[in-house]
Structure 1
Amino acid sequence: MTRKPYVVVIVDDHELFAEGLELLLTRDWGELFVIGGRTTFIEEAAELASSRDADLAIVDLSMPPLGGVAAIRHIKSRHPRTRILALSGTDDFQLAEEALRAGADGFLSKTVRPEALVGPLQTIASGLRVLDPALLDALLSNTRRPAADVLAALTPADLKLWSLLSTGMETADIAARMVVSERTAKRMIASLLKKLGVGNRIAAAALAGRCGLLDDLTDR
């Protein structure tokens, strides 16, 4: 049984790009995709996706004034079954991460050849996600190292405590190594966990391992 073509809507204020993409999808891939409509206005994105019962939406992240992230939120709120591919002409990976958090199912740079979007669109339509390799590398890099402001908030004593905590040392032993009372050690541990943004010692140890900090810290 042949599946009906996926209904695609395009949200992009670059008319030439949007027209070219529509032409490509309908001319060369008409058996897979049908264009349900286009808009250059973020405020119209959700209504367009909903009224066309869109399977897929292609959203430019750089659209003024609200930005493509707002369009993604609106679409997912109004018509959650629409799968969204976010595109950007810049290498602002923070914006790309915001798009994914807002509900985008994939992100690619606009520098890719238009015909290269066909495969990702099919992948997203099937329920999987697609990420630009450079964005994936950036996200993985961020997970291996805590945010700069977190590290900046840690004192040498915090780093020493984190190291001791990550070895599985008991509170009494930590107190002895830090030359404080056990009560003070408990208070210091609670403060450290809060600074790290984790809920328990196991999570703190896991974070230390991912960051590679245990390889660098001394006096463990």
Structure 2
Amino acid sequence: MIRVMLVDDHALVRMGFRMLLADAGIEVVAEADTGEQACADYPKLKPDVVVMDLSMPGMGGLEAVRRLLAQDPKARVLVLSAHEDTAHPRRVMQAGALGYLTKRGAPEALIAAVTAVAEHRPYVDAQTAQVLALAQMKGDTNPAEALSEREFSVFIQLARGLTVAQIAANLNLSPSTVGTHLYHVKQKLGAGNQSELTLVALHWGLIQA
């Protein structure tokens, strides 16, 4: 039986996923509502698959994926996201996740994705794969692609309205380091302030309104 850890800040979402997985004979051995909790609980449980939401309070899903893979390079992570942009799936897979699935997908896609990742096979849902392929064919370049991993993390949290102090705490950085990243982000994206950064993120589907 595949053993799964569910990481999502919405209890109702976790309940729905748990019931769906149970119907397929997949056991949910743990649940977490933050990336911080997932990173703390993972070493005790060593689930076969971590199903990780991207948009959560605190460090968020992308940073949690990085930290889980730093703890255990063999960790198998499937990311669930409400985002339909190209930057998030690319960043997630670069961080070491094995799978990426949009939340708008059919319920059976979750079963297929968990099964594939449990077997060490990469999985990207058809819709996301098509978006990535079309963007590559058209040469559409999301400006956020120019950001480093850390700059991207800072950018997303700033675009969501977090303060420098909050971001520093979430990402375990000093406020001055966050300030340096913020300067580089503004330079690369041609933004003058936090409001403009939020508009860039909204335009490219990196955050939800």
> Distance in 2 between the 1:114 and 1:105 partners?
19
The alignment partner of 1:10 has SS state of strand
Which digits, 9 at most, give the CA deviation of each residue in 1:152-194, with x for residues without a partner? xxxxxxxxxxxxxxxxxxxxxxxxxxxxxxxxxxxxxxxxxxx
Query: Which residue of structure 2 lines up, in the alignment, with residue 60 of structure 1?
Result: 53
Residue 35 of structure 1 aligns with an amino acid whose one-letter code is V
Identity of aligned residues (%): 29
How many residues are matched?
Answer: 143
The alignment partner of 1:136 has SS state of helix
Shift of 1:109: 0.8
> Distance in 1 between the 2:17 and 2:56 partners?
17
8 Å CA contact 1:9, 1:48 repeated in 2: no
Q: Does 1:29 align with 2:24?
A: yes
> Distance in 2 between the 1:114 and 1:22 partners?
12
Tell me which structure has the larger Cα radius of gyration: 1
Query: Which residue of structure 2 lines up, in the alignment, with residue 79 of structure 1?
Result: 72
TM-score computed with the length of structure 1 as normaliser:
0.59
Query: Which residue of structure 1 lines up, in the alignment, with residue 105 of structure 2?
Result: 112
Seen in structure 2, the aligned counterparts of structure 1 residues 147 and 89 have a Cα distance that, compared at 3 Å, is closer
> Distance in 2 between the 1:149 and 1:21 partners?
31
Q: Does 1:134 align with 2:127?
A: yes
Residue 8 of structure 2 aligns with an amino acid whose one-letter code is D
Q: CA-atom RMSD, angstroms?
A: 2.2
Query: Which residue of structure 2 lines up, in the alignment, with residue 97 of structure 1?
Result: 90
The alignment partner of 2:59 has SS state of coil
**Structure 1 unaligned residues grouped into runs of 5+:** 151-220
Query: Which residue of structure 2 lines up, in the alignment, with residue 171 of structure 1?
Result: none
Residue 15 of structure 2 aligns with an amino acid whose one-letter code is E
8 Å CA contact 2:36, 2:58 repeated in 1: no
8 Å CA contact 2:80, 2:103 repeated in 1: yes
Query: Which residue of structure 2 lines up, in the alignment, with residue 122 of structure 1?
Result: 115
> Distance in 2 between the 1:148 and 1:52 partners?
40
Which digits, 9 at most, give the CA deviation of each residue in 1:82-131, with x for residues without a partner? 21111111213312221111111111110123343111211111121111
Query: Which residue of structure 2 lines up, in the alignment, with residue 15 of structure 1?
Result: 11
Seen in structure 2, the aligned counterparts of structure 1 residues 53 and 19 have a Cα distance that, compared at 3 Å, is same
Shift of 1:10: 0.7
**Structure 2 unaligned residues grouped into runs of 5+:** 144-209
Query: Which residue of structure 2 lines up, in the alignment, with residue 209 of structure 1?
Result: none
